[in-house]
Copies of this chain bind each other. A is one copy, B any other.
Amino acid sequence: MPSATVENYVKEILALSMEKGKAQVGMGEIARGLGVAPGTATSMTKTLEREKLVQYKSHKGVTLTAKGRKLGMGMLRRHRILETFLVETLGLDWTEIHGEAEELEHALSEKVLDRLDKFLGRPEFDPHGDPIPTKDGKIAQSNMRNLLECRRQVASKVTLITDQGVEFLNFARRKGLVPGASVEVISRDLVSDAVELRIGKTKPFTIGSKAARKILVASS
């Protein structure tokens, strides 16, 4: 069994490589991402290599092996299923679930994970709208971004509303945020928690980040 630390390193490397679209990840990024000193990342990386989870090129960076990618995807799956459970079943707010899932994901057996998945009805997306990897480590490579992550000043097409509640769906329809609609993010301000939008050529309006996160748009 890999230790929780090993799992976290692999998860971070996977996340960074997906984020960048490049397989190779540098020590600095890992260290920053995990909140650890650079030297620690280097030495831990060597441990990962010994366990054949990554391939390491000194002064270049690390790349996950097939085994590493599998472990990483497994962690992502655990994490997202847990987040879904925390929100859907226990009614926690999506702002507070990340840290909780972070702890629990290392303590969850394969069996309990599968039962949880079944109990939740084999969800495809977590509460943030991120796709949940399948058991064999494949991720539905949806090129969707939510309105907090997508490019600004460029029109995109609404593709998915992740909050299926009546209330939110009604709100979205009133605003014209329906699948197929053309939407452009004009500006985002994290302090005031506001996202300014325009549907097609209509008058701009503002919604909160909580709502913006639930609207996914296509982004090539």
Contact = CB atoms under 8 A, between A and B. Distances in A.
Interface of A: 86, 89-92, 96, 100, 103-104, 106-109, 111-112, 115-116, 119
Contact of A92 (B91, B106, B111): B111
B103 A115 contact: no
A107 B103 CA distance: 5
Given A106-B107, A107-B106, A107-B107, A112 B100 contact: yes
A90 B109 CA distance: 13
A39 B92 CA distance: 44
A103 B78 CA distance: 15
A116 B100 contact: no
A115 B100 contact: no
A37 to B, nearest CB: 21
Contacts of A107: 103-104, 106-107
A109 B92 CA distance: 12
Contacts of A108: 103-104
Contact of A103 (B89, B100, B109): B109
B90 A116 contact: yes
B106 A86 contact: no
A109 B112 CA distance: 18
A55 B1 CA distance: 35
Contacts of A111: 92, 96, 100
A108 B108 CA distance: 11
